Structure 1
Amino acid sequence: MATRASSRRPVSFGPFVRRPVKGDGRAGSSESGIERVTSLPDDAIEVGAVVDAYGIKGWLKITPHAGVGSSGGALLCASSWWLVKGGVCRAAQVVSSKAHGVTVVVQLAGCADRDQALALRGATVHVRRADFPALGRDEYYWVDLIGLAVVSASGDALGQVVDLIDNGAHSILRVQYDEIGRDGRITKAERLIPFVDAYVKTVDPSDRRIVVDWGMDY
């Protein structure tokens, strides 16, 4: 398995976005089933955080970075998790997991009582991108859009996706680009482009670009 240095900050998960379509041992010991490792998998994505223990039998309560009913499903699909707390990374196997309101509750192999669960409170939870559930047509995970180049339908380079915003109705691309000021200095500016069919024409993660109906002066 390819790995990366644990000191590198993993990419945050974020929800997926939908384009509207027209028409025992103590935690950390290898005997416990929660094993300390030196690094995260190369495609690890942060998907949530341990916020509390759940019950008395070692279950954990997780707050996902995205809704349980949408991309928070990655927590429910992955059979292997990585937990990072205080700079220490641990790998764990999922015994059982389920949605619980706006949280996810999980039982990890080797975490058998409430004290062990509480010891993991505050850890961030990571899963492999390869374990994310499949999405439908015109649905994309935020993590797959960040970094893509954005170009207009006429071929003008508009910048690069650096983040997305959810305004409740739909998602918005934050596109950053270089702007030359009157003093000749280059500064960073951004465009906000709604991620809807009216403006987004094609999304090609393999080609690392998004084509939009958007002008340079918008």
Structure 2
Amino acid sequence: MSDPVRRVRMGRIVGVYGVRGEVKLESWTEPRERIFDYQPWLLSAAPGKASSQVRGIKGRAQGKGLVAQLPGVENREQAAALMGSDILIERDQLPAPEDGAFYWFDLEGLEVVNREGHVLGKVDHLFATGANDVIVVRDGDREILVPFVRDVYVLSIDLQQGRMEVDWDPDF
């Protein structure tokens, strides 16, 4: 089910920094500075709109955030026009996960069934908590939260079949 040409959101431009065209970033990489390792970036202002490819980004940590200088962006007004743009990369720019590991976005869209074969919905997204990650399963307006604990609640993941089996009561 994994699509090698899929685009992956790695962060977002959230503000401007100074008067020389630098932008503030929100990064979803770990560590956050790793976002600069994945180039070129595809900047997309809105879903379905054309993306612009950017190479040669220079960046740094600044306080609690990140700041980047994009080629061709030389003043505050040009930087402000990029605010809200998603930073995407092509899926194949990422290294292959280790055996038994997954990128969260590879799990999104999988059909989730429990051990009795009852379809609970599809993986919408995942989020981290202090104890463990959590899978958000949606079926229409219904949302089910399943702890992402392998061999306890998550029994199997089959990316090729687009399916995840869980040990979870559909009424919980």
Q: TM-score range by the shorter chain?
A: 0.7 to 0.9
Instruction: Report the counterpart of residue 32 of structure 1 in structure 2.
Output: none
Superposed CA RMSD: 3.1
Instruction: Report the counterpart of residue 191 of structure 1 in structure 2.
Output: 144
Distance 1:172 1:117, change over 3 A: same
Question: Is the counterpart of residue 158 in structure 1 residue 126 in structure 2?
Answer: no
Q: Distance in 1 between matches of 2:135 and 2:58?
A: 36
Instruction: Report the counterpart of residue 61 of structure 1 in structure 2.
Output: 24
SS at match of 2:169: coil
Superposition pairs for residues 123-202 of structure 1, below 5 Å?
123-177=85-139, 188-197=141-150, 198-202=152-156
Q: Distance in 2 between matches of 1:152 and 1:57?
A: 54
Q: Distance in 2 between matches of 1:143 and 1:124?
A: 15
1:188 deviates by 4.6
Give the letter for the 1:192 counterpart: L
Question: Is the counterpart of residue 215 in structure 1 residue 169 in structure 2?
Answer: yes
Q: TM-score, normalised by structure 1?
A: 0.60
Q: Distance in 2 between matches of 1:58 and 1:119?
A: 10
Give the letter for the 1:212 counterpart: V
Q: Distance in 2 between matches of 1:95 and 1:190?
A: 39
Identity of aligned residues (%): 32
Question: Is the counterpart of residue 76 in structure 1 residue 29 in structure 2?
Answer: no
Distance 1:54 1:134, change over 3 A: farther
Please state which structure has a larger fraction of its residues in strand: 1
1:208 deviates by 1.0
Unmatched tracts of structure 1, length 5 or more: 1-41, 178-186
SS at match of 1:109: coil
Contact 1:94–1:106, Cα closer than 8 Å, also in 2: no
1:120 to 68, 82, 92: 82
**Which has the larger Rg?**
1
Unmatched tracts of structure 2, length 5 or more: none
Distance 1:154 1:88, change over 3 A: closer
How many residues matched? 165
